[in-house]
Chain A
Amino acid sequence: MDVLNLDLGTALGAFAGSPAVWGWLLLGVVLGLLFGAMPGLTATAGVAIATPLTFGLGFDASMALLLGLYCAGYFAGSIPAILLNLPGAPGNAATALDGNALARMGEAERALVLATLASMIGGVVSTLILLFAAPLLARFALQFTAVEYASLGLFGLTCIAAVSGRSLGRGMIAALIGLYLGTVGSDPVEGTDRLTFGIPDLLGGIPLIPALIALFALTEVLSQIAGHGGGDLLPVQRRFPVSRWLTPLRREGWLIGRSSLVGTLVGILPGTGPTIASWLAYGDMARGRRSDDESLERREAGVLACESANNAVTGGAMVPLLTFGIPGDTVTAVLVGALLIQGIDPGPFFITQQGPLFAQILVILLAANLLMAVVTLALRRRLPALLSVPMRLLLPVVVVLCIAGSYAAGGSNFDVAFTAVAGLIGYVLLSLGLPIPPLVLGLVLGPIVERNLRDALTVHAMDWSVFVTRPISALLLLATAAALLLAWRRLSRPAG
């Protein structure tokens, strides 16, 4: 650690004294905010587009551009999620639940500030964990096989109780519909077509980004149209003075710490990502709180949990990348290319042999999180102004962004038609009393549970006992049982 400390000091000094690197970092943060906030466009797309630009840049400048884009891109999807109930990326879908509810209470600025600060804290915590425990965590991640992934997915499904509202029955129906939809597409083990009705665009499964856009934003627009024709404004937005920022952070400090840890741990597991992290953190937050609690404090906790976990994935995903050369998520997969452009081979010897570069990455990650927070907080008063636009003007714009965004996500005309159909079906389900979040949860986690369950049983010759004989899986299943018990007790507690 001595060597790392020395390198960190040098890297800090070099970074602080280089205005050009700051400039690239600022550009990356701004681009990340734009890409992340635009529905259909993700941080992955932004980093992929920016990577070829780094051919002519040095290591520090290219990392500043890409890591700035990475951190800001993961956070920025929460801005439209809070303001319009339109998650910019799947990882911000859980934020929309309480973030948009706060905006409807006239507290959009509060939601934006807390989301920003939580994202920054999550990012910083995960970077510090990367600094002190990268090799240890990487070894832990290597113990995750299909058995553990299946159990983790099952644990994630316990969030259904947290997002079902007052009726667990309706929540279960919605979640099961989501799970069923998650089985559409080419069978993950045998490659058989399942429930695609001969539509080639469905072979890859239900397109997730168009589905999220439809289920969150289009159902919202249709509800507004059915409710009152879109003539009303949202409540007048209240200010959230700087002097009050620390109160919810202090009150929920333990929750933010736990959520950051959840995000980091999920981040180090390849094939997972911010979507799962934020739902797990949301479920953790909801456990032990009343299901009918719609107070300001409860909403604040929801935003803080989701966003700290969401951005903690950034540091976590760098762990397998820098220790084994295995990308932890889609953005770090693109970052492998960026490192290779610089002539750097990320792998088992990177930290030991390229200590100064590792230190530079850590410093840039920290700076990216801080700069992302500074830029967003500077805009905190301007962003809620969007909500003062009359609904009759806002609703058509949201629909146009949904359609253009769903096309941008995959460049497919099918995705556009799918978005419209899914939005209409989502509204019918909502009208029947089904909550949308459990459906989304089922859609996201279903394929993970099924694929890994079947992989695990294939590898272990259909021996189901493997799920309880492997210690991490057994612990996760125990946690699942405990979470279900807690949810049952919480839901059966009389209201009041």
Chain B
Amino acid sequence: MSTGATSPGPTGSRGGGADRLLGALTLLLAAGLWALADTIPASAFSQSLEPGFFPKLVAALLLIPAVGLLVRPGPRPLAAVGTALGSLRLLAFAALLAAYALAFPLVDFRLSTWIFCLGALALAGGRRPLELALFPPLTALVVDTIFRHGFSVQLPQWTF
């Protein structure tokens, strides 16, 4: 999987659904972004384009590809989107990532990284006891040491 031009999920027999969904969502997004841009205060003394001009222009331009996708959708089926987003393992990993990031300023980096690596390894298919026991603490210690002593980056640390 690459972040290039491809997207996740298999292809199916009924095509076009994914692009129609994307087109519809983009229409909604364009309306929302325009409304947001409309809240940007304009200056009475402005001698140039208003601060909201560019965001509004971009929101309006979004209509063109949105309509294009609705009128001439590509072959990608709707099921591909559901498959890409609906995996339980993915949702668990996303929750773990969010918890790791939110805990970052509160918890010692070594401890939070240890716990994160343990969970991530288990979710990624790690089952060997030795791997589960050694890999998370070693990763936490090595990364912490490299950043703290190699690059003088003070990651969160509990001092006792």
Contact = CB atoms under 8 A, between A and B. Distances in A.
Interface of A: 34-35, 38, 41, 45, 49, 85, 96-97, 100-101, 104, 163-173, 176-177, 179-180, 183, 187, 189-190, 192, 194-195, 215-216, 218-220, 222-227, 229-231, 391-393, 395-397, 399-401, 403-404, 407-408, 411, 413, 416-417, 419-421, 423-424, 426-428, 430-437, 446, 450, 453-455, 457-458, 461-462
A97 B139 CA distance: 28
Given A173-B62, A392-B124, A416-B104, A226 B8 contact: yes
B19 A176 contact: no
Contacts of A436: 3-4
A98 to B, nearest CB: 9
Q: Which of B9, B29, B55, B121 has the most CB of A within 10 A?
A: B55
Nearest to B43: A190
Given A183-B54, A395-B124, A458 B47 contact: yes
A218 B97 contact: yes
A337 to B, nearest CB: 18
A194 B59 CA distance: 14
A189 B102 CA distance: 34
Nearest to B61: A176
Interface string B143-155: 1001100111101
Interface string B66-80: 101100001010001
Given A223-B1, A462-B48, A392 B93 contact: no
Contact of B62 (A170, A176, A408, A435): A176
B48 A104 contact: no
Contact of B143 (A401, A426, A437): A401
B151 to A, nearest CB: 6
A396 B22 contact: no
B55 A229 contact: no
14 contacts: A85-B3, A167-B5, A179-B54, A189-B51, A195-B40, A222-B94, A227-B8, A391-B124, A395-B124, A396-B136, A421-B98, A430-B3, A434-B7, A436-B4
Contacts of B2: 85, 100-101, 104, 220, 223
Contacts of A395: 120, 124
Given A97-B4, A194-B51, A407-B155, 15 more contacts: A166-B5, A167-B5, A173-B65, A226-B85, A230-B125, A391-B124, A396-B121, A399-B100, A400-B117, A404-B109, A416-B105, A430-B84, A432-B22, A435-B6, A435-B7
Nearest to B120: A396
Contacts of B100: 399, 403, 420
A343 B18 CA distance: 63
Given A392-B121, A404-B147, A417-B101, A433 B18 contact: yes
Given A180-B55, A222-B93, A431-B9, A229 B123 contact: yes
Interface residues of B, number: 80
A170 B97 contact: no
Given A101-B4, A173-B26, A458-B47, A404 B155 contact: yes
Interface string B37-54: 100110100111101101
A95 B2 CA distance: 13
- Specify the main secondary structure of chain B where it touches its partner: helix
Nearest to A100: B2
B129 to A, nearest CB: 14
A400 B51 contact: no
Interface string B97-138: 110111011000100010011001101111000010001100
B33 interface: yes
Contacts of B76: 433
Given A179-B58, A183-B54, A226-B87, A192 B43 contact: yes
B28 interface: no
A168 B19 CA distance: 12
Given A190-B43, A392-B124, A396-B117, A433 B22 contact: yes
B31 interface: no
B25 A432 contact: yes
Contacts of A430: 3, 7-8, 84
Nearest to B127: A392
A424 B26 CA distance: 18
B139 A454 contact: no
Contacts of B81: 431-433
B22 A428 contact: no
Nearest to B118: A396
B93 A225 contact: yes
A80 to B, nearest CB: 14
Contact of A224 (B1, B4, B37, B59): B1
Contacts of A229: 89, 123-125
A179 to B, nearest CB: 5
Contacts of A225: 87, 89-90, 93, 123-124
A458 B117 CA distance: 53
A107 B61 CA distance: 39
B130 to A, nearest CB: 12
A437 B3 contact: yes
A165 B109 CA distance: 39
A450 B147 contact: no
Nearest to A439: B3
Nearest to B109: A404
User: Which 5 residue pairs of A and B lie closest in terms of their CB atoms, listed nearest first?
Assistant: A165-B5, A420-B101, A223-B1, A230-B124, A431-B84
A430 to B, nearest CB: 6
Contacts of B21: 432
Contacts of B8: 223, 226-227, 430-431
